Amino acid sequence: MSSSKPKVLLLGQIEHASARSEYELLSSLAQLITPKSSNPGDFLAECRSGAFDGTRAVYRTFDSISITGRIEGGVVKALADAGVRFIAHNGAGYDQIDVPSCTTSHIHVSNTPTAVSAATADTALFLLLGALRNFNPSLLSLRSNAWRGNPPPALGHDPQNKILGILGMGGIGRNLAVKARALGMEIWYHNRRKLDEEMEAGATYKGFEELVEGCDVLSLNLPLNEGTRGLIGEGMFEKMKKGAVLVNTARGGVVDEAALVRALDTNQISSCGLDVYDKEPHIHPGLINNPKVMLLPHMGTWTEE
């Protein structure tokens, strides 16, 4: 006998035990289902097969894009035809979803713009300090029983009195600003619009190019969309201070990774700290093979809390 309950479709794995327990509480209200497919082509076919008919809500993770592809076009239509009216994304960025297409198909989309602010800002600060102090080469040599390395790496730099340029002063950017200011950094930022004084909290608004040209560390905290894809590329690296540091905890696609590799190879950029990549989980080999680059496998929100 088929269930009379509406269905909720889970896309991706819920990693936190407490979150899984809370999700499973929905079983009193809905039939919890998962797809059988593991790639975008099969997922679209499964959507069209009627397997998800009666589904009212979808809960998705960032990594579920490997199953579904971007939620757009035929996928949105197939989900709408199945009865989906709500997609909940458990992250701040929603670039993996064509929101206008969902809106046209009467599907509401939600995200969690504040839940990840502190954890992501902490990750950005970790990468900032590691890259600025040039810690990574010796982290690698230490694990090879070579102490600091021979020859030892170049000396790093203290954060005190350095200018941190924050590109995208949303919740994560503002959280990072508070933490970096405690290290003695001066905070500049660029946004689509200038914040009011209370939200600026002492940060200085700069034009985009002025920010890029003048900061010692550039932190990317902006969403990925058509206007920001590849925004930090060859031309922007050439404008940055010689020896500046780049930190990216936003989306990999904001950076032209090939241009970043060239900027590192010529020492235009002294180091960088990255938690996100354009073609995750694949990483440009020029980044993997450069000891000056601090890399994390998209762990900005990887905390129990």
**280 is an active site residue:** yes
The catalytic position among 60, 174, 190, 251 is: 251
Confirm if 40 and 67 have CB atoms less than 8 A apart. yes
What gap in Å lies between CA 247 and CA 114, rounded to an integer? 20
Q: Which amino acid is at 249?
A: T
What gap in Å lies between CA 133 and CA 129, rounded to an integer? 6
**298 is an active site residue:** yes
Angle at 44 between CA 116 and CA 3, to 5 degrees: 80
The catalytic position among 16, 48, 229, 298 is: 298
Confirm if 47 and 22 have CB atoms less than 8 A apart. no
**251 is an active site residue:** yes
Which of the residues are catalytic? 251, 280, 298
